[in-house]
C-alpha cells in the first residue's frame, strides 16, 4: 500500500479563462476521468473560494491528493487576498490562448506568487481553450519559452474537451516533493 500526500492547489488567472471549467467539467467526464475519489464542493464565505479534491495515483502506488481552491469570481472585481494562496503548495495559473492579454495577467500572477507565496511552491502555467485553435492569439512557443525561463510547468489544455487536463495534474503531482 503506497503513501498518500495532500497538497493545497490554487487556481489563478484572469476572469473567463476557464479556471472553474476545470472544476465543473461535464459531469460524466469529471467523474470518470478527473476526480477519482469524490467531488466535494462548497463555498467558504470568508474568502469566497470553492474547493474540491483531485486525486492522482503515481506509478509507484503513491497517492497525491490536491485540495483545489477556485475563486468565486472575485478576480473580476478586485485583486485576490494573499490569504487565498498563502499556504498553497502548488498553483495552476491559467490563461486563454485566444486572449493575449490573459497571458500578461498570468505573468503578473506568476510574479506575485514568486515574490509572496511559499518559496517551494510548484507553479504550472496552463494555456486553456486549445479547442479554439482557429482563434489562437498566443503561440505555444511564446508561452513555453516564458515558462522555461521562469521554471514553470507548462501545458496547453481544453477544459471543454478534457484535453490534457489529467496530464496537467499528473505533471504537478510528479513535481511535488514527496519524502
Ligand atoms: P473562470 O472565470 O476563469 O473561472 O472561467 P470559467 O471556467 O467560468 O469559463 C469561462 C467561459 O469559458 C465559460 O463559458 C466556459 O464554458 C468557457 N470555457 C472554459 N474552458 C474552455 C475551453 O477549454 N474551451 C472553450 N471553448 N471554452 C471554455
Ligand atoms: Mg471562475
Return the pLDDT at 30: 37
> Would you say 20 and 43 are in contact if contact means Cβ atoms under 8 Å apart?
no
Mean pLDDT of 87-91: 93
Task: Name the percent of the chain lying above pLDDT 70.
Answer: 80
Distance of alpha carbon 9 from alpha carbon 125, whole angstroms: 13
pLDDT over 60 at 29, yes or no:
no
Residue 99 CA to chain centroid, in angstroms? 18
In sign, the C-alpha dihedral spanning 55, 60, 61, 64 is negative
Check residue 41 and give its pLDDT. Answer: 37
Rounded distance from Cα 20 to ligand 2 centre (Å): 4
pLDDT, position 46: 33
pLDDT value at position 51? Answer: 53
Q: Which atom of ligand 1 is nearest to the CA of 21?
A: 7
Which of 93, 95, 128, 159 maximizes ligand 1 atoms within 8 Å of its Cβ, making it the mutation to test the pocket?
159
Which residues face 4 on adjacent strands?
Answer: 63
Statement: residue 8 has pLDDT above 50: yes
Ligand 1: which residues within 6 Å by Cβ?
13, 15-21, 128-129, 131-132, 158-160
- Please report which confidence band the pLDDT of residue 26 belongs to, taking 50, 70 and 90 as the band edges: very low
Amino acid at each position: 500500500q503506497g503513501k498518500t500526500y495532500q497538497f493545497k492547489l490554487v487556481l489563478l488567472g484572469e476572469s473567463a479563462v476557464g479556471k472553474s471549467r476545470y472544476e465543473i467539467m461535464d459531469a460524466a467526464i469529471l467523474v470518470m476521468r478527473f476526480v477519482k475519489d469524490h467531488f466535494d464542493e462548497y463555498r467558504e464565505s470568508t474568502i469566497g473560494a470553492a474547493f474540491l479534491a483531485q486525486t492522482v495515483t503515481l506509478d509507484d502506488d503513491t497517492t497525491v491528493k490536491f485540495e483545489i481552491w477556485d475563486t468565486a469570481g472575485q478576480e473580476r472585481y478586485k485583486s485576490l487576498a494573499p490569504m487565498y494562496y498563502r499556504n498553497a503548495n502548488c498553483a495552476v495559473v491559467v490563461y486563454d490562448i485566444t486572449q493575449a492579454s490573459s497571458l500578461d495577467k498570468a505573468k503578473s500572477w506568476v510574479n506575485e506568487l514568486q515574490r509572496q507565496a511559499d518559496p517551494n511552491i510548484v507553479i504550472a502555467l496552463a494555456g486553456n481553450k486549445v479547442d479554439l485553435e482557429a482563434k489562437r492569439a498566443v503561440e505555444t512557443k511564446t508561452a513555453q519559452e516564458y515558462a522555461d525561463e521562469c521554471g514553470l510547468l507548462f501545458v496547453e489544455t481544453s477544459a471543454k474537451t478534457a484535453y490534457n487536463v489529467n496530464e496537467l495534474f499528473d505533471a504537478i503531482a510528479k513535481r511535488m516533493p514527496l519524502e
